[in-house]
Chain A
Amino acid sequence: MTRRYAAWLYLAPALALLITFTYVPVANMVVYSFTSWDGLDVTMDPVGLDNYVRVFTDERYWRVFLISGYYFVASFAQIAIALYFAVILSFNTRFRNLFKGILFFPYLLNGVAVGFVFLYLFQPDGTLDTVLRWAGLGDQTHYWLGDPDIANISLAGTSVWRFTGLSFVLFLGAIQSIPGEIYEAAEIDGAGDWHKFRHIIVPGIRRIISLSFILAISGSLSVFEIPFIMTGGANGTRTFVVQAYETAFQFRQIGLASAMAVVLLLIVLLITWIQRRLVPDEEVTLS
């Protein structure tokens, strides 16, 4: 008996924090999503499903999801770059700890700081244009944020720069957990680098790769900091979360914004579920 209570006692602090700061706010948000509350008023008027109907029927709310496509495509580049460097740096490369540091560093930076740094990079005659001119590519300069055809790509590129480090560390950790004997055995059998990658590393880190895809999807649906800091959502770069922020805090429609947040949550859950169906999570055995 005492053992049962003791377990709960140890869990209590963590559970209290989790419930207070995660589940209660989420429950609140769900409640608000059925009201027309403005975030301030004493009374909350219930409006039933009106907010949800509006999110799905008003073009201005669901169209912003399309912007996520840019970030989703970019996340493939991010995974590829991260995987490439993780494989290279998991073997004996010169200065490899230095390179690991360099690759991971952007992830440590605050997202707001990244936004400001890239804002200067993308300015007309800013760093990027200057570098292009040095390289003799002066005719390739653009209004990186001002041109509506490029703005989202510039922002997605910033996002890749920032989050490659995270994917990289995940992959690196997974690769290093593969026992060294397996490589040795493979070498004895005459496997080249590509074979080792294809038949040892990829199967060995499959779970992490599939995790990366879930993170990529949910991440690209909920992009906020980078467009918010760099363009404020202007010039066709408004993402779903920027739109939700504006609805909540510029137009004081907390109810409608909560409904948007609930919809986003459900979509991410749904995608995760589908993904788990398509790629079942089997135990990986390399031996």
Chain B
Amino acid sequence: MADRRTFIGIGAAAVLALVTGCTGGATEEGPADFSGEVTGAITVLTNRTDLATTALPEYAKKFAAKYPGTTVTFEPVTNYEGDVTTQLSSGEYGDVLLIPNTVAVDQLGQFFEPLGTTADLKAKYRFVDEKAYDGQVYGLSIGGVANGFVVNTKVWAQAGITAPPKTPEEFVAGLSLIDTKTPAIPFYTNYKDGWPLSFWNSQRAIFAKADANETFPADASPWQPGKVQYVTDGLLFDIVKNKLTEPDPLTTNWEGSKPMLGTGKVASMLLGSWAIPQMKDAATAAGANPDDIAFWPFPWQTGGKFHTRIEGDYKAAVSKTSENKATAKAWLEWFVNESGFSADQQAIPPAIGQELPAALEDFQATGVELMELPAAAANSGKEDQIIKSSEIDLAGNIYRQKLVDIARGAAKGDKESYFAELNKRWGEAQSQVMK
């Protein structure tokens, strides 16, 4: 799941004309109709361009063995978010696809078929509420991830640290030890590629409150001391401020960072558990020991325990415009339940009761509680609206790049002034949205 987050479309200026040119795809609400025989051809859109001609057709063969007469064609999309969003508005978007995150929850019914009620599907699958609206589930996760630090334990051990730090201060102190005792870069921000900075937003479980998503939009100033943005963004600020990151953040490179972590030139990065197999591969390819790569929780304990958010990553859905919905739904359920895709990808299996991947077993063994945070219900969609209106991209990189710039002295301000500005902008938008 490496390049799937390359949200940014090259040549996007041209897309503006395209997007604005077409506003089709309008559909009326209606009950889902999956009747019909499971046979015939369907098209599946995928962000996994690396698997589209290798592993995915193998799954399709197994599916055809179970349901004779079906053919599944994969359509790989490089710039998944941007391109598929454009396709959505044109009305041509395959039979099964991953829901782009640009679709707001209240728009899900315009483009996708409801797969069942949240209450029913909850018993069977994890992460069902992430793409649900009004009690209807529109997308099923194809494999979940946990959030935390991917670290090179060999480097951390050289600095004398073998267990995950328990507080942000301890973490920064650990990075400082790495800085003085080893030649490694203690923490790599991946500032230039940007999307890795978005994982600072995925640490909302640290206070062990299951209603974190529900209460978040109700708060007018999340960057106040003691609140989650203050803790997470504050840690990023402190790390950069103490010069524990790469010397020139403007020239970081995601692909290049993988072997750096693998070989111990970089000690840590904040990512998701999906990155572990990639880092291990990079270590092996560079002749280093893949067992040095481990996954650590965010350095914050509540009640003497780490809490880590697990989430569903991309959710797959059945297209509202599909002409073979019976087969599309059969494929979706088979892919989630029986294909073994999530196990092959070392992801958290979406079906309840299946075993966790090995990498996460180790992670859990360090005393971490994996928490699923239900999506906001009463405040459903409000957070997205505040983000849009305030242009503080909580789930993105723009305001965090500014944060890094301030921390490294490249832009005016300090932690207090920037957090105050964020609180003000967020608060203004929040009061508009929540009124």
Binding site for B on A (CB under 8 A): 21, 24-25, 28-29, 32, 38-42, 44, 60, 112, 119, 122-124, 126, 143, 145-148, 151, 224, 229, 231-236, 241, 245-254, 257-258, 261
Contacts and interface: CB of A to CB of B under 8 A. Distances in A.
B191 A38 contact: no
8 contacts: A21-B17, A24-B21, A29-B20, A40-B110, A123-B248, A147-B410, A234-B402, A245-B12
B2 interface: no
Nearest to B410: A148
B13 A241 contact: yes
Nearest to B25: A42
A145 B103 contact: no
Contact of B405 (A41, A235, A253): A235
B250 A250 contact: no
Nearest to B18: A25
Interface string B1-38: 00000011111110111011101011100000000000
The 4 closest A-B pairs by CB, nearest first: A145-B250, A146-B248, A234-B401, A148-B410
B248 A249 contact: no
B81 to A, nearest CB: 9
Given A122-B251, A235-B401, A258-B20, A39 B410 contact: no
B89 to A, nearest CB: 6
B350 to A, nearest CB: 26
Contact of B20 (A32, A42, A151, A236): A32
Interface in B411-429: 411
Nearest to A42: B26
Nearest to B197: A234
Interface of B: 7-13, 15-17, 19-21, 23, 25-27, 82, 85, 88-89, 102-104, 107, 110, 191-192, 194, 247-251, 387-388, 391, 393, 396-398, 401-402, 405, 410-411
Contact of A143 (B7, B250, B401): B250
A101 to B, nearest CB: 27
B19 A124 contact: no
Contacts of A143: 247-248, 250
A249 B12 contact: yes
B422 to A, nearest CB: 13
B136 to A, nearest CB: 18
Given A249-B9, A250-B396, A257 B16 contact: yes
A250 B393 contact: yes
Contacts of B89: 39-40
Given A40-B85, A40-B104, 9 more contacts: A39-B102, A41-B107, A123-B251, A232-B397, A234-B402, A249-B15, A250-B396, A254-B20, A261-B16
